[in-house]
Amino acid sequence: MKYVLVTGGVVSGLGKGVTASSIGLLLKSCGFRVTSIKIDPYLNTDAGTMSPFEHGEVFVLDDGGEVDLDLGNYERFLDITLTRDNNITTGKIYQSVINKERRGDYLGKTVQVVPHITDAIQEWIERAAKIPVDGKDGPADICVIELGGTIGDIESMPFIEALGQFSYRVGPGNFCLVHVSLVPVLNVVGEQKTKPTQHSVRGLRGLGLTPNILACRSTMALEDNVKLKLSQFCHVPAENIVTLYDVPNIWHIPLLLRDQKAHEAILKGLNLIGIARKPDLTEWTARTKVYDKLHDPSFPLQVKIAMVGKYIGLKDSYLSVLKALLHASVGFRKKLIVEWVEASHLEDITAKEDPDTYKAAWNRLKGADGILVPGGFGDRGVQGKILAAKYARESKVPFLGICLGMQIAVIEYARSVLGLHDTNTEEFDPQTSNPCVIFMPEGSKTHMGGTMRLGSRRTYFVVSDCKSAKLYGDATFVDERHRHRYEVNPDMISKLEAAGLSFVGRDESGRRMEIVELPSHPYFIGVQFHPEFKSRPGKPSALFSGLIAASCGQLDLLLNKSDHVSNGVVNGINTGKAPPKVWQNGNCFKSANGSLNGVYSNGNGVHH
């Protein structure tokens, strides 16, 4: 097993995750099998209990792991399926060591950070690196490890020590360190300054790790004299110093690395030069060109989707949703414009307190071609989401509700159509006399972490002639990832269906509702699962494709096409058909054309 470690210095937010993903893709294009590990030094066991404002979205894996959003980048770039063990946290390491101590595994020894914690880290890395993630038997050839945080952080010190020991143990021909640093340009003098990177590398070396490659973030390509200076003071060959400068979209990053021969430096450090093939990024390059063309400001064809949520102050809270929208919109050759709508701004109380904000929010909603209500927790903005679903239903605007978005659509229908004005979800009104959404019996009301219904679960289509089943290629079932602890009340299903709703997808018991449709509506779908987590470049989520198609007036064309689902497996379904080619982008790197991650967005600032 060969290992590539990606660390970061000077400041956070330089794009280590995108760099690690791009390195993995580049090595994969050289013919190697690649896996990934993300180390997060925080004490949380996992990301499941973190606020999206604090840490961005929580990405959910097939095995139910609630992990850092960077693992979503790894999965999308490399088209792999990771496990919860591919995300290491301080909490997990300490928990495992303490459990061993309680069992007596250390035979009465004094348990210390060195060697017990550092040994546990190294054992975890070796174990996780051997887990197959690409559907093939046996371990990968190369493991790319990203160390979260910034060199010098107190919380990451045990991991730095462990990785120093690990690099010595596996040997120099099996370990390559890529250090991502910042080379700022001061506006006053217009000069690229190397001192921050020099200090960062000095700190790294003082902790026992020596970088093989420097990946320097800057607004422009590094000048030759700057490279020579960095080489001299950081003891890194000039040919091993690459620039990751600002690009129109992060699809360019693997191409930047290839053009600067970063793969050769990595392969040389891993003694793999003789067996590696020339990197084949032909398809990737073509995708990048198409993507740039679609997102040129002058490109005329666009689709406008209103994202009605409560975390819009931090767009990373909906990162996978954005990616899934992009996959689908590019497949239909449309520029994606996201209208960010703070859900609470649609409510009557905002109309009284801030009429201008209320009017602006409704104008953005009504000006969109389609409406998406993503998942979320807590009651803030729920009434606004209900109003958005009501508007979409009554105005025949394409609508997709995910998780809570599905539940509020059902609540709105029960209130407006069934006349149950007091119906609610037990999540926000535990004493409601007409619970439309209930707490799942197997859930825990005392422990929050890891107690939801998580991971990949099977949904069976009970109505074959429905839009969802057609979008999935006339499948009989689909496997999608879940993250919820409340569900639609099965005792209300008969009333809701008699009033016109159709629960077309259910779990294996038939009592847990997974997909709801409104047959009389052009496109009104709610799902309990999160289809965005399995959307991939070239394999867009079926339901996001449906939303974009309906918003473009092309849904009938999509449903009637015999080749709209990919040859092979799409979201766990083998159909033998093929979807429109789409491509995704990533995050972190600054876009030069004024868009956010390649998405043109409109909003109204940060809201908490």
Q: Are 303 and 337 in contact (CB under 8 A)?
A: yes
Helix axes 252-259, 16-29, angle to 10 degrees: 60
In the three-class reduction of DSSP (H, G, I as helix; E, B as strand; rest coil), residue 245 is classed as strand
Helix axes 542-551, 319-331, angle to 10 degrees: 60
Q: Is omega for the bond preceding 374 within 30 degrees of 0, making it cis?
A: no
- The whole-angstrom separation of Cα 300 and Cα 581 is 20
What radius of gyration, in Å, describes the C-alpha atoms of the chain?
25
Between the alpha carbon of residue 10 and those of residues 7, 144, 199, 201, 226, the distances in Å are 11, 21, 8, 9, 17
- The whole-angstrom separation of Cα 402 and Cα 525 is 9
Question: Backbone dihedral region of 269: left (phi > 0), alpha (psi from -120 to 50 degrees) or beta?
Answer: alpha
Instruction: Catalytic residue, from 116, 530, 564, 607: name it.
Output: 530
- The whole-angstrom separation of Cα 392 and Cα 551 is 12
* Residues facing residue 39 across a β-bridge: 88, 147
Which residues in 309-335 are b (16+ Cβ under 10 Å) and which e? bbbbbbbbbbbbbbbbbbbbbbbbbbb
436 is catalytic: no
Block residue for tokens 């209500």 = 373
Q: Are 40 and 275 in contact (CB under 8 A)?
A: no
Instruction: Catalytic residue, from 403, 436, 552, 588: name it.
Output: 403
403 is catalytic: yes
* Residues facing residue 59 across a β-bridge: 67
532 is catalytic: yes
The token pair at 271 is: 């003694």
The token pair at 529 is: 């699962």
Outline where DSSP puts E strands in 362-420: 370-373, 399-402
Q: Are 27 and 266 in contact (CB under 8 A)?
A: yes
Looking at the chain, the number of H-run helices and the number of E-run strands are 20, 26
* Residue 255 CB partners (closer than 8 Å, separation 6+): 281, 284, 285, 288
Q: Where are the alpha helices (DSSP H) in 56-191?
A: 70-78, 90-103, 118-129, 157-170
The token pair at 589 is: 């790197």
The token pair at 542 is: 């079926």
Instruction: Catalytic residue, from 532, 552, 564, 607: name it.
Output: 532
Burial class, 590, CB count within 10 angstroms (exposed 0-12 / middle 13-18 / buried 19+): middle
State the maximum Cα–Cα separation within the chain, in Å, rounded to a whole number: 76
- The whole-angstrom separation of Cα 474 and Cα 570 is 12
Q: Are 4 and 144 in contact (CB under 8 A)?
A: yes
| φ, ψ dihedrals at 243, nearest 5° | -105, 130
Active site residues: 403, 530, 532
